[in-house]
Amino acid sequence: MSPKITTELLKQLRQVMKNPKYVQEPVQAYIVPSGDAHQSEYIAPCDCRRAFISGFDGSAGTAIVTEQHAAMWTDGRYFLQAAHQMDNNWTLMKMGLKDTPTQEDWLVSVLPEGSKVGVDPFIIPADQWKRMSKVLRSAGHDLVPVKENLIDTIWTDCPQRPCKPLIMLDLSYTGVSWRDKIVALRSKMAERKVMWFVVTALDEVAWLFNLRGSDVEYNPVFFAYAVIGMNTIRLFIDGDRMSDPAVREHLQLDSTLEPEFKIQVMPYGSILSELQAVGAGLSPKEKVWLSDKASYALTEAIPKAYRYLTPYTPICIAKAVKNASETEGMRRAHIKDAVALCELFNWLEKEVPKGTVTEIIAADKAEEFRSQQKDFVELSFATISSTGPNGAIIHYKPVPETNRTLSVNEIYLLDSGAQYKDGTTDVTRTMHFGTPSAYEKECFTYVLKGHIAVSAAIFPNGTKGHLLDSFARSALWDCGLDYLHGTGHGVGSFLNVHEGPCGISYKTFADEPLEAGMIVSDEPGYYEDGSFGIRIENVVLVIPAETKYNFKNRGSLTFEPLTLVPIQTKMIDVNLLTQKECNWVNDYHQKCREVVGAELERQGRHEALQWLIRETEPLVRVQ
C-alpha cells in the first residue's frame, strides 16, 4: 500500500480556503469530518471527502488542514492503516493516547491569533460544533460555517450521489408496521411534550418506514430525511423511487388514509428550507426533537429555544431492542452465515497448504459461499481477510499491493459478515492451518477467556455495556497484554452493522443500559504489530438470565450467541482454561454442531458437515 500523494491537492485546498468565491473571509483552517450529512459511519463514494484529501480511507477519522499543517485524528483500530495510506504532508494524531491533543487544543496551539476555522455545516454534528466552537472562541478564534463544501470544489471527478431502488420489508421481517412505529414514536413525543421529530440518521429513516436501500455500500440504507409531526409525516427523498408501485403500495401513498398517516413526499434537497419553515412557524412551547448529533445546519434551522436535543433518539432506542420477528430473523441469518463459513473453512483447510490462496481470494470465496444463501443481499462491511502481520492492522482490507498468501505458517484472521433480508451478521475467527506456536496459542486462549467472560456474564437489568468491557480484558491484563479497541458494538437487524445506543466499550459512558432483545458483538482481540492479529467475535443477543437469588426483583441478563461458527480448538491451550470455560466452549460447539449441522445436512453440504463435526469435538482439560 503506497501513500496517496497529496501535495497538489493540499495546495489547491489552501487556495480555495482563501478564495472569496467560496468563503466570505479566508479561513486559516478547514475541518474535514468523516461523516456525511447524516453523520453516517459508512458513507457513499461521493461523501468520502476525508479519504479524497488524505488517502486514509478507514471508517473513522477527521482531517484538519491549516496553512502550514495537515493532521488526521483516528483511533487505535486505524493507527497502522492511516500511517500507511498518508504521505508526509500529514501528521497522524493517535486518539486515545495520553499525549494526543484534541482537535480543538491542537488548533489553538498552531493557529495565528484571531483565526477563522471553516467547516461544512451539513457535515459537522451540532454537538461537535458546540464543543469546538466554545474552545476556539475562548482562545480568540472563530468556527465558521462554509456553505459550499471546499473539498467538493477541488474534487473534479467526484462521483454522483447514489439513488438506487428501495427494498420493502413486510411484517414477517419487521414484526411491526411503519404505521405502528409512527404511533409509538408519537407517543414518545407526547411524553416529552415535543411536536416535531426530525429523523436525520439514514438507518433511522429506513427502520421507521420498513424500507431498505443500497445507496451506501454494506449499509442497506437510502438517502432521505423525515420530519414527523403529531399529524403529519414528511419524507424527503430523491429520484423516481417513489414511482415504484410496490413502494407506493407499501407506504400507502395512494390510499385513502387518516390524514395523520398520509406521507408527504418531498425532494431530498428541500429539508433545510422546510425545516426552517417549521422553525419559523412554531408557537411558544412547541419543541422540535433532534439528535444532538444532527448536523449543525439542520439544528440551526430550529431556533434554540425550541430545540429538544438528546444523544439518542426514540427511534434509535426502539430500533436497538429487537422484537420476536427480528430476533428470529437474526437467528436464521446467523445459521446461514455459519453454513457459508463452514464451507469456507473446509475449503481453506484443503487449499491453503497448496500456497495458492491469497487474502483476496479467501475474501471472495467467503462472499461466494454467503451469496449462495437464501435472502443474501450484500456484505455488511468490507471483509477483513488478513494473514500474518496484516492481522495486526485492526481494520485491514486486502488490496492488491498488500495481498498476502495464506500459509501453514501464519495465523489467519477473517472478520466478515453479510446482510440478509432477515438479518445482519458480523463474525471473526482466527485460524491456523499448520501448527501454531505455544505463544500464539497462549495469546489466543487469553482472548478466548475474555470472549467467554463477556458472553457468559450475568449482570443486573439496567447495567450499561461499558461496565462489562473489563471482563474481556482481565485475562490479557494479568499477563500485561491489552487491545486498543472496544469490545463490542450494537448490530442492526438487516441494517447497519454498527449501531447505537448500546455497546461494550471502556470509551463510552453515555451508552443506554442493556436490555433483553438488544444485540451486540463480543470481540476482544490481541495484536502484535508486525507479527499477527487475533480476534474472536460473536454477535450475541441480550436475554433474561435465571439466577439463584433475584436481588430485589431487579432481574438479571446474560448473552446468547447468535453466531454459531466453531472456534478453532487447535489454537486453544486447554490448560489455561478453567473447567467452566472449557464447558462453555464444549456447550457452544455442541450447539454449533446441532443447529448448523442440521442446516448443512438440509442443504446437502456433506463435506462441510464433516468439517463441522471434526471442529466441534469436545475439549478435554487435564486436571
Does residue 543 bind its own copies (CB under 8 A)? no
Count of CA atoms in the C-beta half-sphere (13 A) of 480: 0
Nearer to its own copies, 176 or 467 (CB): 467
CA-to-CA distance for 82 and 62, rounded, in angstroms?
A: 11
Least distance CB 578 / its own copies (angstroms): 8
Nearer to its own copies, 14 or 473 (CB): 473
How far apart, in Å, are the Cα atoms of 295 and each of 84, 122, 123, 130? 31, 5, 6, 11
CA-to-CA distance for 309 and 287, rounded, in angstroms?
A: 10
Among 156, 254, 549, 604, indicate the residue that binds its own copies (CB under 8 A).
Answer: 549
Does residue 478 bind its own copies (CB under 8 A)? yes
- CA 566, 567, 571, 574 dihedral sign is negative
Determine the interface stretch with its own copies among 238-246, 375-383, 479-487, 561-569 (rule: CB under 8 A): 479-487
Determine the interface stretch with its own copies among 183-191, 242-250, 335-343, 547-555 (rule: CB under 8 A): 547-555
Nearer to its own copies, 21 or 98 (CB): 98
Does residue 480 bind its own copies (CB under 8 A)? yes
CA-to-CA distance for 547 and 335, rounded, in angstroms?
A: 29
Residue 465, classified by CB atoms within 10 Å of its CB into exposed (0-12), middle (13-18) or buried (19+), is: buried
Least distance CB 410 / its own copies (angstroms): 20
CA-to-CA distance for 367 and 425, rounded, in angstroms?
A: 13
Determine the interface stretch with its own copies among 38-46, 66-74, 364-372, 544-552 (rule: CB under 8 A): 544-552
Per-residue contact flags (x/-) with its own copies for residues 224 to 263, judged by CB under 8 A: ----------------------------------------
CA-to-CA distance for 439 and 376, rounded, in angstroms?
A: 38
Does residue 99 bind its own copies (CB under 8 A)? no
- Residue type for position 99: D
Q: Crossing angle for the helix pair 126-138 and 103-110, nearest 10 degrees?
A: 30
Does residue 481 bind its own copies (CB under 8 A)? yes
Does residue 467 bind its own copies (CB under 8 A)? yes
Phi, psi of 311 (to 5 degrees): -65, -35
Among 21, 98, 354, 602, indicate the residue that binds its own copies (CB under 8 A).
Answer: 98
At 30, which helix (H) or strand (E)? strand 29-32
Contact 414, 428 (CB under 8 A): yes
Among 26, 145, 162, 460, indicate the residue that binds its own copies (CB under 8 A).
Answer: 460
Nearer to its own copies, 237 or 557 (CB): 557
Per-residue contact flags (x/-) with its own copies for residues 374 to 413, judged by CB under 8 A: ----------------------------------------
How does 66-77 read in b/e, with b if 16+ C-beta sit within 10 Å? beebbbbbbbbb
Tell me which residues in 489-528 interact with its own copies (CB under 8 A). 506, 509
Does residue 575 bind its own copies (CB under 8 A)? no
- Residue type for position 304: K
Per-residue contact flags (x/-) with its own copies for residues 551 to 570, judged by CB under 8 A: x--x-x--------------
CB atoms under 10 Å from CB of 484, counted, come to 15
Q: Which of 127, 130, 118, 136 is nearest to 25 (CA)?
A: 118
Binding site for its own copies (CB under 8 A): 98, 138, 305, 457-460, 462, 464, 467-471, 473-474, 476-482, 506, 509, 545, 547-551, 554, 556, 578
